[in-house]
Amino acid sequence: MEVIYEDNHLIIINKSPGEIVQGDKTGDEPLVETLKHWFKEKYGKPGNVFCGVVHRLDRPVGGLVVFAKTSKALTRLNDMFRNGEVEKTYWALSRNKPEPAEGRLVHFITTTERNNKSYASLTERSGSKRAVLTYRLLGCSDRYNLIEVKLETGRKHQIRVQLSSIGCPIKGDLKYGDKRSNPDGSISLMARRIRFTHPVSGKEIDVTAPLPSDPLWQAFDKIEFEDEK
C-alpha cells in the first residue's frame, strides 16, 4: 500500500492491480479495511476507526483512490464526485492506435450482472446509462499506444468498454477484446492523476501517481501533463 497524500480529512492511495477497494464475494481483505488497521497502528487509535469509500477502481486496474478519514469529508467528497467536480485522468495502453487521435465518446452503457460485463451502444436502450469521456493519443512505442482518458461520467467498466468500441481494447483486457492477458492478471489501465478542491480546507489537491515499474509503462515516463490551470 503506497500513500500518495494524507491529511486530517482524507488519504489518497496508489492502488496496486489486484487489490480491491471494497469487500466483495471473494472474501479478500479490501483496501478500506487495510487502511483501518493501518490507522489504528499508526495513530494508536482504540476501537472502531472511520474510513469512508469515496469511489472505486476495478480490481485489475491500478492507480489513485481517495478515501475519507472523517464523515464530513466523506459527505462532501461524495457530492463532489457525483457533481463532476473531481477531475480524473487515466492512462491506458492499447495495441491499437485510436482514429482520430483525439475525440469525445458518447455511448449508452448497459451492464449484465450475470457475466459482470458492460455493453456500449450508440443509441439509448432500456436500462442503459449515458457514458461520456474524452481521449487523446499521448505517445506511441514500437508495439503500444498510450491513450489519456478523462471521464465526464462514471459507469461500470466505462473506459474499458468505450475504448474497445473504437477498436482500442486495453492491453491485457480479455473481457473487452484484447488478444492476451498480462502475466499478473492486471490490465494496462491506471488512474494517473486526480485534481479537486479540498472538501474542508478549500485548497487545490493535484496528485499524480508514479508509473508502474513495468518497462512498457516506463517507456512513456517522460510525458508530462500540460498546465491546465
How sure is the predictor about 225, in pLDDT bands with cuts at 50, 70 and 90? low
Model confidence at 49: pLDDT above 80: yes
CATH number for the region 1-220 comes to: 3.30.2350.10
- pLDDT the model gives residue 229: 42
Alpha-carbon distance 36 to 53, whole Å?
Answer: 11
Q: What is the pTM of this model?
A: 0.92
Tell me whether residue 206 is one of the annotated catalytic residues.
Answer: no
> Where do the domains of the chain lie?
1-220
Q: Which one from 7, 24, 28, 58 is the annotated catalytic residue? A: 58
Convert 117-153 into a string of H (helix), E (strand) and C (coil).
EEEEECCCCCCCEEEEEEEEEEEECCCCEEEEEEECC
Reported residue count of the chain is 229
Query: Of 38, 71, 29, which is closest to residue 52 (Cα–Cα)?
Result: 71
Mean of pLDDT values over 210-220: 91
How sure is the predictor about 11, in pLDDT bands with cuts at 50, 70 and 90? very high
